[in-house]
């Protein structure tokens, strides 16, 4: 079983350290399957949650974090004041867990780790870890009598007062600072980094952005698009780039919608995008040069596609060519740190063994002291 440890359930900060340990049964199961890089997946969700219209738990209200089991501790931030529940489980592989449990579609996580009403943790089937009881052969050849899930922790409830959260920036500044990001800043440090970018690099990017929007408008005019509009150019913070390029589609005023016959396309050469270049080439007699340029461009594009297509295969070769790590949790020197033995476990970075006080964890500890999270 996985055990989570929090210093104090009446927290005074929105960012808190969580330590963990596992029992001998879970350690034995990890070893029997030769799991080299297990992960701890932690989920935080509001207590007494109101379900949606279908009485289902909403994944958009969750906050998830994935750590390596070997870290022994990690910092999490709690995004909502009041009572929150914390639960975790051990997954087989760290990288797979990051991809599986942290992937989002919009504001909601793509994968589920709870049943519909959030009363039970149900990880993906490949991350289920059980102890099994057999009638005869302990190796598993006999009939299995029962199995017990051993990789899920008990739920911990914490109460987070509202003063733990940072004051929200002004509406106009949030709009400008978060303009190029899909999600809002999670804490003050995150917002400061974005603010630095917003007032240095972002103005240059916005000029380039306006240039691209101008090109889209010119293209819409050249094809005679029915959706031609100045709004995406005049309101760049309201309309994103995908909306800016939508003005090119929607059909051309030079192609009849009522007439479904083939000859309705005979007016295409009258579009400015075709008519203007044709007139220029006729005037300067440059047909041969244009063909050579198109041929060279095609060869360059084909070369780029071949290189890009070969990158994933190269990554796979590098990945599988690396030496595999030993099962670190079988090391006798790690037993007192990773095994739940009833003794007090480290609840702060300073209490961890020196070989587990990583630079990443030290930075998270410092960040928790100087950066308060924003309320969700």
User: What contacts 62, CB < 8 A, 6 or more positions away?
Assistant: 43, 44, 45, 109
Instruction: List, for residues 207-258, the tens digit of each pLDDT value.
Output: 998 999 898 888 888 888 888 888 888 888 788 888 888 888 777 777 766 6
Among the listed residues 230, 225, 280, the one whose alpha carbon sits nearest the alpha carbon of residue 251: 225
- Is the pLDDT assigned to residue 138 strictly greater than 80? no
Among the listed residues 129, 135, 165, 125, the one whose alpha carbon sits nearest the alpha carbon of residue 148: 129
257-267 mean pLDDT: 65
Confidence (pLDDT) at 126:
66
The DSSP code for 351 is G
Confidence (pLDDT) at 296:
78
- 3-state SS string for 32-63: HCCCCCCEEEEEEEECCCCCCCCCCCCHHHCE
Q: pLDDT class for 319, splitting at 50, 70, 90? A: very low
111 within 8 A of 123, measured Cβ to Cβ: no
CA distance linking residue 295 with residue 288, whole number of Å: 11
More confident position, 352 or 256:
352
- For the chain, list the strands marked E by DSSP: 2-6, 15-22, 39-46, 63-68, 73-77, 82-91, 104-105, 108-109, 130-134, 144-149, 156-160
Angle at Cα 67 formed by Cα 63 and Cα 69, nearest 5°?
Answer: 135
3-class DSSP state for residue 227?
Answer: coil
232 within 8 A of 244, measured Cβ to Cβ: yes
| Enclosing H/E stretch for 68 | strand 63-68
Q: pLDDT class for 6, splitting at 50, 70, 90? A: confident
- Is the pLDDT assigned to residue 376 strictly greater than 70? no
Instruction: List, for residues 357-366, the tens digit of each pLDDT value.
Output: 888 888 888 8
Confidence (pLDDT) at 241:
82
CA distance linking residue 45 with residue 58, whole number of Å: 9
317 backbone dihedrals φ, ψ, rounded to 5°? -65, -40
Confidence (pLDDT) at 136:
56
CA 110 to chain centre: 10
CB atoms within 10 A of CB 136: 9
Angle at Cα 67 formed by Cα 72 and Cα 157, nearest 5°?
Answer: 80
Among the listed residues 99, 93, 13, 3, the one whose alpha carbon sits nearest the alpha carbon of residue 42: 3
What percent of the chain shows pLDDT beyond 70?
A: 76
The dihedral sign for the CA sequence 199, 200, 204, 209: negative
- Is the pLDDT assigned to residue 135 strictly greater than 70? no
CA distance linking residue 68 with residue 20, whole number of Å: 11
Confidence (pLDDT) at 10:
67
More confident position, 3 or 14:
3
**Given the structure tokens 């480290």, which residue do they identify?**
346
Confidence (pLDDT) at 33:
83
What domains can be seen in the chain, in order of their start residue?
2-164 (2.60.40.10), 202-285 (no CATH)
84 within 8 A of 78, measured Cβ to Cβ: yes
Q: Which two tokens stand for residue 162?
A: 């509202």
Tell how strand 39-46 and strand 63-68 pair up.
antiparallel
What is the pLDDT of the chain when averaged over all its residues?
78
- Is the pLDDT assigned to residue 43 strictly greater than 50? yes
CA atoms within 13 A on the CB side of 222: 11
Q: pLDDT class for 322, splitting at 50, 70, 90? A: very low
* Bridge partners, residue 339, by sequence: 22
- Is the pLDDT assigned to residue 84 strictly greater than 80? yes
User: What contacts 81, CB < 8 A, 6 or more positions away?
Assistant: 160, 161, 162, 164, 165, 375
């Amino acid at each position: 079983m996985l055990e989570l440890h929090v210093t104090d359930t009446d927290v005074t900060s929105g960012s808190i350290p969580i330590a963990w340990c596992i029992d001998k049964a879970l350690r034995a199961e990890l070893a029997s399957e030769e799991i080299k890089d297990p992960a701890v997946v932690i989920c935080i969700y509001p207590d007494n949650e109101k379900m949606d219209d279908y009485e289902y738990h909403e994944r958009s209200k969750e906050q998830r974090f994935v750590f390596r089991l070997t870290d022994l501790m990690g910092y999490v931030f709690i995004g909502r004041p009041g009572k929150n529940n914390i639960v975790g489980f051990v997954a087989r592989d760290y990288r797979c867990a990051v991809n599986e449990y942290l992937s989002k579609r919009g504001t909601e996580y793509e994968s589920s780790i709870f049943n519909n009403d959030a009363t039970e943790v149900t990880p993906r089937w490949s991350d289920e870890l059980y102890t099994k009881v057999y009638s005869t052969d302990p190796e598993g050849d006999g009939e299995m009598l029962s199995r017990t899930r051993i990789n899920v922790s008990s739920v911990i409830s914490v109460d987070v007062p509202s003063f733990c959260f940072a004051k929200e920036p002004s509406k106009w500044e949030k709009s400008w600072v978060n303009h190029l990001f899909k999600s809002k800043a999670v804490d003050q440090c995150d917002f400061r980094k974005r603010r630095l970018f917003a007032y240095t690099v972002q103005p240059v990017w916005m000029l380039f952005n306006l240039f691209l929007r101008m090109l889209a408008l010119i293209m819409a005019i050249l094809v005679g698009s029915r959706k031609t509009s100045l709004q995406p150019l005049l309101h760049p913070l309201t309309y994103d780039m995908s909306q800016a390029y939508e003005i090119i589609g929607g059909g051309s005023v030079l192609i009849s919608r009522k007439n479904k016959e083939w000859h309705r396309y005979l007016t295409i050469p009258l579009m400015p995008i075709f008519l203007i270049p044709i007139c220029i080439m006729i005037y300067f007699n440059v047909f041969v040069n244009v063909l050579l340029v198109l041929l060279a461009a095609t060869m360059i594009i084909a070369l780029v596609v071949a290189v890009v297509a070969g990158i994933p295969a190269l990554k796979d070769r590098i990945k599988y060519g690396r030496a595999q790590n030993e099962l670190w949790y079988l090391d006798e020197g790690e037993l007192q740190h990773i095994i739940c033995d009833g003794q007090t476990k480290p609840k702060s970075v300073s209490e961890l063994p020196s070989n587990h006080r990583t630079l990443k964890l030290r930075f998270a500890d410092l960040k928790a002291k100087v950066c308060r999270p924003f309320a969700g």
